[in-house]
Structure 1
Amino acid sequence: MDPNTLHFLEDLAKNNEKEWFHENRGRYEEARANFIDFSSEVLEQLKTIQDDLLNTEVKKCILRINRDIRFTKDKRPYKNYFGAGFGPGGSSSGRSDFYLQIEPGGKSFLGGGMWSPSPENMAKWRQEIDYNPDALKSIIYAYEFKNYFKEIAGQQLKTKPKGYEIDHPEIELLKYKELFFYRYYSDKEVCSENFSDEIFKACKLMKPYQDYVNELFFDS
């Protein structure tokens, strides 16, 4: 990615107001175009491993930079980052998709997994772990996966979930209310020539887990 994209986002973080944004709209349009071009590269690579993305247009994957400030005390009008969700039809597929965020200061990341599941899906999740824990564990505890995505993310219950005993052998997995993974990248990595290849590598590693979640929640 172009370093100027990160420079724009750095300046936006310091001047997050409409007047400054309008005065710098030309810089924004250039930065946004650079992010869209990069996201298009990623999407084309993903289409080689995920057939349900074949008809997805990159413009449908790009998130708006405007913040929804209706229900928050934080009235800054703009996000300090660019974001894209790569799912069937775009960022609003409702499935577990690949999410890319570009933000200066080493805050850029690729993430995905089980996020804010419905009570029905949470019940499916725990039932599957109870009946067949090895299917999940063989994915998230695989050496290459664990070496790249260093830790499991997501909130856990403080005690056992209803219907399961505290001495259940998979109690720690059963406690999760959501379970996702992400990998952060330095600004130097983001601006490197092979960054799209790095993101594709991350997506390929994460895909078995994404497939596990989507098959459990939406295809069963």
Structure 2
Amino acid sequence: MLPKTTLDFLQKLQENNNREWFAENKKTFDDEQKKVKVFFNKVGESLGKSDGIERIQIFRIYRDVRFSKNKTPYKNHFSAGFTRTKPMLRGGYYLHIEPGASFVGGGFWEPNKDDLLRIRKEIALDATELRTIINQPTFKKYFETLEGEELKTAPRDFEKTHPNIDLIRKKQFLVVRKFTDKEVLDSNFEEEILNSFKAMRPFFNYMSDVLTTNLNGESIY
């Protein structure tokens, strides 16, 4: 389980996000980062027992400020991504630890143009299976709804009056579950993360089927 010192450090970093403070507290950062890496890798190892995971990426705390209006040098969170084994398994899991704003998420953040068009065409053809998945009690329990940025109107070559236009307009297909600090520090936090990831699986598997076949359902691999 994650110790309270991890959240305490991140809270202090949020209040003192400058290079001088960070340099003075570098040893504390190193200690907390080691604990978090152990936790993230343990989550990844457990996840790999039930799903094909090809990569665990633990993100650096240093921010790239070159093209950002926010010039603070450090992120005030620890995070990791877990990528499914391509090309047959699509979708990625994400874990974010931040005081007052921790969450797990997953889905399709920036699908490329071809993948996005393929998904939209499938939804336009028949969205029954996708709607069944996102309306299942387990999905609703963990995520409530399918999130993500969307167009204000229909994308090109799709009818504005299409009955599935609410899904066709989406540019991202994401699910998110938030956690309180108390839940993050609870002994069953890892189990709840894994339960959340498991609840994403039907959605991921649906998208994997779509993105590895053509509109006739024939494999493209």
TM-score by length of 2: 0.88
Task: Please identify, of 166-175 and 194-203, the stretch whose mean Cα deviation from structure 2 is larger.
Answer: 166-175
TM-align CA RMSD: 1.9
Q: 1:45 aligns to what SS in structure 2?
A: helix
Q: 1:183 aligns to what SS in structure 2?
A: strand
* Contact 1:35-1:82 within 8 A present in 2 as well: yes
1:131 maps to 2:132: no
- Name the counterpart of 1:92: none
Unpaired runs of 5+ residues, structure 1, are 90-94
1:83 maps to 2:83: no
- Name the counterpart of 1:20: 21
Alpha-carbon distance in 2 for matches of 1:138, 1:151: 12
* Contact 1:112-1:182 within 8 A present in 2 as well: yes
- Which has the larger share of strand? 2
Alpha-carbon distance in 1 for matches of 2:189, 2:79: 16
User: What residue identity is the alignment partner of 2:38?
Assistant: D
Task: Please identify, of 200-209 and 156-165, the stretch whose mean Cα deviation from structure 2 is larger.
Answer: 156-165
Q: How many pairs align?
A: 210
Cα-to-partner distance string for 1:56-92 (whole Å, 9 max, x where unaligned): 5xxx521011001111132111100001001158xxx
- What is the correspondence of 1:1-220 to structure 2 with a 5 Å cutoff? 1-50=2-51, 52-53=52-53, 56=55, 60-88=56-84, 96-105=91-100, 107-217=101-211, 220=220
Q: 1:69 aligns to what SS in structure 2?
A: coil
Cα-to-partner distance string for 1:120-143 (whole Å, 9 max, x where unaligned): 111101111122312211211111
Alpha-carbon distance in 1 for matches of 2:8, 2:128: 45
User: What residue identity is the alignment partner of 1:206?
Assistant: M
Task: Please identify, of 187-196 and 161-170, the stretch whose mean Cα deviation from structure 2 is larger.
Answer: 161-170
Q: Quick one: percent identity of the two aligned structures?
A: 39
* Contact 2:84-2:91 within 8 A present in 1 as well: no
How far off its partner does 1:170 sit? 0.9
How far off its partner does 1:213 sit? 2.7
Unpaired runs of 5+ residues, structure 2, are 214-219
Alpha-carbon distance in 1 for matches of 2:44, 2:205: 17
Alpha-carbon distance in 2 for matches of 1:75, 1:165: 42
User: What residue identity is the alignment partner of 1:30?
Assistant: D
Alpha-carbon distance in 2 for matches of 1:173, 1:75: 36
Q: 2:58 aligns to what SS in structure 1?
A: coil
How far off its partner does 1:100 sit? 0.3
Alpha-carbon distance in 2 for matches of 1:132, 1:184: 31
